[in-house]
């Protein structure tokens, strides 16, 4: 079993914020691949399904971003999952909107959700699907940008990116991150 974690904040008013793109990605994946309905467990919402023949537990922590690790650690401990079987889907300032990168391990780069996961898992050796939200250009504007809703002009690219991530998800589940990234890029190349 793999644990796929979407990082975000649980308040309904935050649902369309750039910081919640991890929740959005998991929702589209769960819908596309016929996961079970979301239910409360492990201080979060969980849904189970199969992606490319691989059993996946989707988790959206309800602990708020800064405490995401509490929910992730609880689920991983219950299922006795090794850290490399965990994938976090999260917003990434250093990638342009519509761009994604997958990597295993690395630093939190100021992302409090990743920082919490690192601390509570005792390791940073999990996979990350970094979903680009772009940088506002000025360090002073980062918080407002991250906690701001996607602009209307960004929505078509956001939808195309999330759809591509869901379509290519079997490659990710199958341990083919490079092919996953290539497929997402191909599926979104004509979207402005």
Catalytic residues: 19
- How big is the CA angle at 113 (ends 73 and 125), to the nearest 5 degrees? 60
Give every CB contact of residue 1 below 8 A, 6+ residues apart in sequence: 55, 56, 57, 79, 81, 85
How far is 92 from 110, CA to CA, in rounded Å?
10
Distances (CA, A) of 146 to 102, 156, 173, 180: 20, 18, 28, 25
């Amino acid at each position: 079993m793999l644990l796929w974690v979407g990082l975000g904040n649980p308040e309904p008013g935050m649902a369309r914020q750039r910081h919640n793109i991890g929740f959005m990605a998991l929702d589209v994946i769960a819908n596309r691949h016929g996961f079970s309905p979301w239910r409360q467990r492990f201080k979060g919402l969980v849904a189970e399904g199969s992606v490319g023949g691989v059993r996946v537990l989707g988790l959206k922590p309800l602990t708020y971003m800064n405490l995401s690790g509490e929910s992730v650690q609880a689920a991983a401990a219950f299922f006795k999952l090794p850290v490399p079987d965990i994938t976090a889907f999260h917003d990434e300032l250093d990638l342009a909107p519509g761009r994604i990168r997958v990597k295993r391990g690395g630093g939190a780069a100021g992302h409090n959700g990743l920082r919490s996961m690192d601390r509570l898992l005792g390791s940073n050796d999990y996979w990350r699907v970094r979903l680009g939200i772009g940088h506002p250009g000025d360090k002073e504007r980062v918080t407002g940008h991250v906690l701001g809703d996607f602009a209307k002009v960004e929505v078509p690219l956001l939808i195309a990116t999330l759809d591509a991530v869901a379509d290519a998800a079997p490659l990710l589940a199958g341990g083919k991150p490079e092919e996953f990234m290539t497929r997402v890029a191909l599926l979104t190349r004509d979207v402005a």
